Structure 1
């Protein structure tokens, strides 16, 4: 009798415990559905979805998913609660459905003034407490265009060009359509030259919201954003000394995953992995100012336990005015991979020293891998304190001003198996502790002096703590098994620090072209007849690379690998008799290789 009673108690306990566990799991992984046909007073289930993404963001808890159904949503999503490690809050498009979130509103009621010029009066109540047509582009290291606004006008999803004077529209002889805005007490007046289009019949939108997906406070951690199209945000200039809002941004947090999204037409930056804001924002445009910014960040939890470790992958980012991806201090220990970034900084209404496809300050233990970057002004630009970072298997072409830049870094930095195909400049001479291994290089080295006297911090290994400061002399760099098609390495002949130059080849006879086809991008190359005899490279070992002398740190390959055994495409290299450059080419003299999928 006693045994039977005990068994019943045990069974009952197990059943109750199981129910509690199941309820706990269900509570920790709730799905919130959002649909344009929904109602914010409903429960948020698939049958009774919410109407606005923000309402779901107000309710979502760690482990929850916000499933967004097809349509165009016009709102700015401000995640309220972060997830936890292993229990992120996920915002994603429903399977097979196209979800667009826009920071703009459609504008009708345009009145024709004369010819192709139209005018509209927009009530300021549309903008709430933020009017992007009175908000100018401003901040540290912005060199010109302070008259430009964060607002924008779009005709059928293409941006018009702002002009600082109304008479420029009236006397417009240019091919590009122009717009001008003037803000009064209750009304924002907009004039635009639509070049023959009727704005009341076409899709005309104007920026209204500053960001599209961005927390309004730091430390909103472990958020995943997947499969969304984010467009038309009135984002501000994002220098390294200020808060850096983007169309989507992490705002000084940890553990975000931003993947499989399309980000277009952010006035300044598409994706930001940036710092918080404080009273020093845009008041620190100097070496001392940025060092002060770094020191203050250390007091605001700038450490791998609280900041960084983000994953940004498989996104397509285009038509942003400043950068595709940018971040000051907040990108530490992150991975940026498989992104397509193009048409950045092309409109030219404003300009400053922060334009690039990828612009990261303090890239500490960051992996930048297999990104395709073209038609940008700065390609990849790692500025200040890049340490423990690897730039590998990236494709860059048709970039202007700079294709690649390492500005005042002490390393270690590894740059391997990249296709640098822009015939521009590379600012690489005055960073130390850098190894260039098996790259195909078409750029020329930016001519500089022997030393950059800016005292740049160097850090303890895999850490954010400052170990010391040092200027940036030329040298302490290795070039191994690279293929140059325009310029040799004569700029390093009088280096202050040791240089390792081994196995490189300069061949100006090589002709190449990058072409877009239906299924991807192809590299066509015409090689000299004696190319086969130039396959003489030995496999590069990790021991062949220079140590970063100033921080006294070695370059480390992942998973304790010892050699550079594979090329850009993943083809295996032999121990001896390999090609210089990023590709293990066969014996043909005219070839065509697919180098990036669409």
Structure 2
């Protein structure tokens, strides 16, 4: 039987239906039945009545006019203003929505003009930037400009270039002969330093000399977070005119109200500069019962307030929501516990990101990208974040995550969080206090976390929290540079984890850390742990009392570790661990569901309230029940799927060493070059068949020395003819990325461009491009478009004639001529036809599958058909039921040869 739709699944299904529709309907369709509709357009006037023929000019004027039940429909264009909507009522909300004729952008920046020559290769402009100097942001021709910085770094703040201080440095002093000349006094020094730097910190330069500087600040926490003779001595400088030396860098002199810029080559003519003026483009801090639909934010953010309720934000596209260059200690009144110097780790969590505060508010079907701090802050009670794509956030390296959850009764489900400085999802004790009750954190895909930290995890909890009633289930964490997948730290208790998946997460899959305290009521059931975990699938340590801690039905490729379990100890049983082969489908690509004959099938025990969908003689061990539909995690928006499938790539090193570890799919194995880094050293990757790629991640794992100082990427279709490099990367960050124009290629060559004093180390090479890989398993419930059927957590409902689901930008590479679908079909004989169409639901038919009955609506079977011709390139793909009122439910599909 297909799993019943949970309440969160129904939310996701409703969200999917909304995504399939235009962002706004005709004015009369979107207005409240008893309210008035105003229209806003960039060509309007605030003296007009706000009608269709005479629209208002600003959204703010509309906000002044609306009353409960009214709507503001906003036509395409850019609106440089702060919008402060009034409150509606529960039975008559106020609505602010895109009209549907193009993008509506609330822009937090204003244009800077009047540029003049300032000497020394700089230009300047007089401008009054109203924000705190540490929160300024500049955009050049629509791209984020880098504040003057040393050493120079690329445009991606999650790939920073670090300087390395000499071992003679001390906690408030840096020795580095490479320091630039000039007066750096007043600059901000950003530190990632210490023996175990689980957070970063900033200070202010107080004096400079040749090859040395003094600074004041940081949190003075020695050891483990200070500069000195430590394992990590990384730092950079920002915010000094003396550091301006490459095009696009800027410095703002607040006292003189003057902005300095290194102009692009050729000067300022034809270039546009905007500077941030407004932190909160949409400020709902004093509002309730407001709907915000289909708006874009640029260089600004949105927030509700601690008393807000009934706010719905949907189809929000927010970019560059928060910017800052310092990490100050949080104010005492922001902390839920007694203040202490270690609480610098939560710096900026409460003043960054899209903020969902209050009670009963919802953010859904949205994309939040580019934040120095938090992606989304959830604080208060009973708030919901669902079907949202959050990425490229938290680059300043404190505990600011993709999603920060404080309070109780929240629902955080079906989100994709990718590329974060530290955690993907974080719960901070300092801000949350002890209670963390009745939260649901489920069906989230968390990856590429821990980019600027090493001690932590994509899902992180600290400390001493009571999570009674909270469930963390059906999440997938993978490809992260930290130490653990799910980290319940420092005596937190009553966390229920179940049906979770982790692979390529470092030393552990899940870690319950008593830390010389207690581990009360922590549980992990029915979870699956794959490769890239070197220590333990599950570890419990340091607990003086483990009452109620219980681990069962897990499947792992490494052992469990139970040390210091306390008295009484935990229950650990019914687990499948080495040396037994778990029988996973494809560990290289994270497909940890079971193959026929796996010893985990029917080998589990029933756990009340956790074990579901039992098939056969008993429940299976692990996160997936054999024979049932395969559940998936993450959002259904474009961009939520981007990983290029590793079909068995090979790598060749120019020095002849065995480079297989660089592409084996195991992040904890490493290839090392045979000699010190030198320009011209290379790795050549053969993808086996041509793949569509647009981003390469070069991961050095936890190695503090193996990353290169610079490299280029070149591509080839035949391995013989190589064009000019498509990307050039500089700096020495731990995971370095090259972004280049998307192309279909078979070979990639990574070539070093700079020497180094260590060997070159590569733990894993990963590739990405927009849209899913046709050779991968395309989970039907993750379709970006679905019509006429339901969307479950693991499959669609039954499709009848005319029903459909579809994926955007499916990458076929060199081509596919066969398709396989996993279906469940009641009835007898052929129950109907499933057509595969390209580029639109009525597009060209490239495949037809006559579906044969499988024995029931919950009996799954793989059925295949030849495509009508070979499909190449990138296409939107639609599966359409063409005949039969109850053709089939679909679990997944894949294409190949």
Short-chain TM bin: 0.5 to 0.7
Quick one: distance in 2 between partners of 1:253 and 1:37? 33
CA contact (8 A) 1:386 1:409 kept: yes
Shift of 1:479: 0.9
Tell me which residue corresponds to 1:333.
Answer: 382
Q: Residues 534, 417 of structure 1: CA spacing in aligned structure 2 closer, same or farther, 3 A cutoff?
A: farther
Aligned pairs for 1:411-426 (under 5 A) are: 411=467, 412-423=469-480, 424=482, 425=484, 426=486
Quick one: distance in 2 between partners of 1:113 and 1:510? 67
Q: Residues 252-299 of structure 1, C-alpha deviation per residue, up to 9 Å, x if partnerless?
A: 311100110101112259xxxxxxxxxx96545571369xxxxxxxxx
Aligned counterpart for 1:84 among listed residues 89, 111, 120: 89
Q: Does 1:316 align with 2:367?
A: yes
Quick one: distance in 1 between partners of 2:437 and 2:312? 22
Q: Root-mean-square deviation (CA), in Å?
A: 3.8
Shift of 1:44: 0.8
Aligned pairs for 1:420-439 (under 5 A) are: 420-423=477-480, 424=482, 425=484, 426-429=486-489, 430-439=491-500
Q: Does 1:105 align with 2:110?
A: yes
Aligned counterpart for 1:40 among listed residues 28, 37, 46: 46
CA contact (8 A) 2:553 2:604 kept: no
Q: Does 1:378 align with 2:417?
A: no
Quick one: distance in 2 between partners of 1:195 and 1:573? 65
Quick one: distance in 2 between partners of 1:99 and 1:496? 56
CA contact (8 A) 2:299 2:322 kept: yes
Aligned pairs for 1:331-480 (under 5 A) are: 332-346=381-395, 348=396, 351-353=397-399, 355-362=400-407, 364-376=408-420, 377-383=422-428, 384=432, 385-400=435-450, 401=453, 402-407=457-462, 408-411=464-467, 412-423=469-480, 424=482, 425=484, 426-429=486-489, 430-442=491-503, 443=505, 444=508, 450-451=514-515, 473-480=518-525
Q: Residues 527, 47 of structure 1: CA spacing in aligned structure 2 closer, same or farther, 3 A cutoff?
A: closer
Q: Does 1:543 align with 2:608?
A: yes
Aligned counterpart for 1:180 among listed residues 232, 242, 251: 251
Q: Residues 83, 373 of structure 1: CA spacing in aligned structure 2 closer, same or farther, 3 A cutoff?
A: same
SS at match of 2:280: coil
TM-score, length of structure 2 as denominator length: 0.46
Quick one: distance in 2 between partners of 1:86 and 1:318? 33
CA contact (8 A) 1:336 1:367 kept: yes
TM-score, length of structure 1 as denominator length: 0.67
Shift of 1:170: 4.7
SS at match of 2:589: strand
Q: Residues 494, 27 of structure 1: CA spacing in aligned structure 2 closer, same or farther, 3 A cutoff?
A: closer
Quick one: distance in 2 between partners of 1:314 and 1:440? 24
CA contact (8 A) 2:488 2:512 kept: no
CA contact (8 A) 1:417 1:582 kept: no
Quick one: distance in 1 between partners of 2:91 and 2:250? 48
Tell me which residue corresponds to 2:552.
Answer: 502
SS at match of 2:404: strand
Tell me which residue corresponds to 2:124.
Answer: 119
More strand by share: 2
Q: Residues 542, 71 of structure 1: CA spacing in aligned structure 2 closer, same or farther, 3 A cutoff?
A: farther
Quick one: distance in 1 between partners of 2:141 and 2:588? 33
Quick one: distance in 2 between partners of 1:197 and 1:52? 36
Shift of 1:195: 5.0
Q: Residues 542-565 of structure 1, C-alpha deviation per residue, up to 9 Å, x if partnerless?
A: 7256xxxxxxxxxxxxxxxxx544
Tell me which residue corresponds to 1:202.
Answer: 271
Quick one: distance in 1 between partners of 2:295 and 2:537? 44
CA contact (8 A) 2:583 2:597 kept: no
CA contact (8 A) 2:553 2:620 kept: no
Q: Residues 449, 97 of structure 1: CA spacing in aligned structure 2 closer, same or farther, 3 A cutoff?
A: closer
Aligned counterpart for 1:482 among listed residues 505, 524, 527: 527
Q: Residues 172, 74 of structure 1: CA spacing in aligned structure 2 closer, same or farther, 3 A cutoff?
A: closer
Aligned pairs for 1:155-304 (under 5 A) are: 155-163=140-148, 165=187, 170-172=242-244, 177-184=248-255, 188-194=257-263, 196=265, 198-215=267-284, 218=286, 220-233=287-300, 246-267=301-322, 282-283=332-333, 285=335, 287-288=337-338
Quick one: distance in 2 between partners of 1:398 and 1:158? 23
Quick one: distance in 1 between partners of 2:282 and 2:423? 25
SS at match of 1:489: strand
CA contact (8 A) 2:511 2:538 kept: no
Q: Residues 281, 96 of structure 1: CA spacing in aligned structure 2 closer, same or farther, 3 A cutoff?
A: same
Quick one: distance in 1 between partners of 2:628 and 2:776? 11
Q: Residues 415, 446 of structure 1: CA spacing in aligned structure 2 closer, same or farther, 3 A cutoff?
A: closer
Shift of 1:511: 13
Shift of 1:110: 2.1
Q: Residues 44, 173 of structure 1: CA spacing in aligned structure 2 closer, same or farther, 3 A cutoff?
A: closer
CA contact (8 A) 1:169 1:193 kept: no
Quick one: distance in 1 between partners of 2:412 and 2:60? 32
Shift of 1:60: 0.8
Q: Residues 350-386 of structure 1, C-alpha deviation per residue, up to 9 Å, x if partnerless?
A: x533x00001211x11111000001012101123322
CA contact (8 A) 1:268 1:323 kept: no
SS at match of 1:62: coil
CA contact (8 A) 1:68 1:93 kept: yes
Shift of 1:585: 8.6
CA contact (8 A) 1:214 1:251 kept: no
CA contact (8 A) 2:518 2:543 kept: no
Shift of 1:212: 0.2
Quick one: distance in 1 between partners of 2:777 and 2:477? 15
Tell me which residue corresponds to 1:6.
Answer: none
Quick one: distance in 1 between partners of 2:541 and 2:292? 44
Quick one: distance in 2 between partners of 1:188 and 1:98? 33
Aligned residues: 455
Q: Residues 43, 173 of structure 1: CA spacing in aligned structure 2 closer, same or farther, 3 A cutoff?
A: closer
Tell me which residue corresponds to 2:776.
Answer: 592
Query: Structure 2: which 5+ residue stretches go unaligned?
Result: 1-30, 149-185, 188-237, 325-329, 341-356, 559-580, 631-645, 648-774, 785-897
Tell me which residue corresponds to 1:533.
Answer: 598
SS at match of 1:356: coil
Tell me which residue corresponds to 1:459.
Answer: none
CA contact (8 A) 1:419 1:582 kept: no
Shift of 1:505: 1.2
CA contact (8 A) 1:154 1:160 kept: yes
Q: Residues 222, 343 of structure 1: CA spacing in aligned structure 2 closer, same or farther, 3 A cutoff?
A: same
Quick one: distance in 2 between partners of 1:152 and 1:172? 16
Aligned counterpart for 2:58 among listed residues 35, 52, 60: 52
Quick one: distance in 1 between partners of 2:510 and 2:32? 58
CA contact (8 A) 1:108 1:199 kept: no
Q: Residues 228, 416 of structure 1: CA spacing in aligned structure 2 closer, same or farther, 3 A cutoff?
A: same
CA contact (8 A) 1:177 1:193 kept: yes
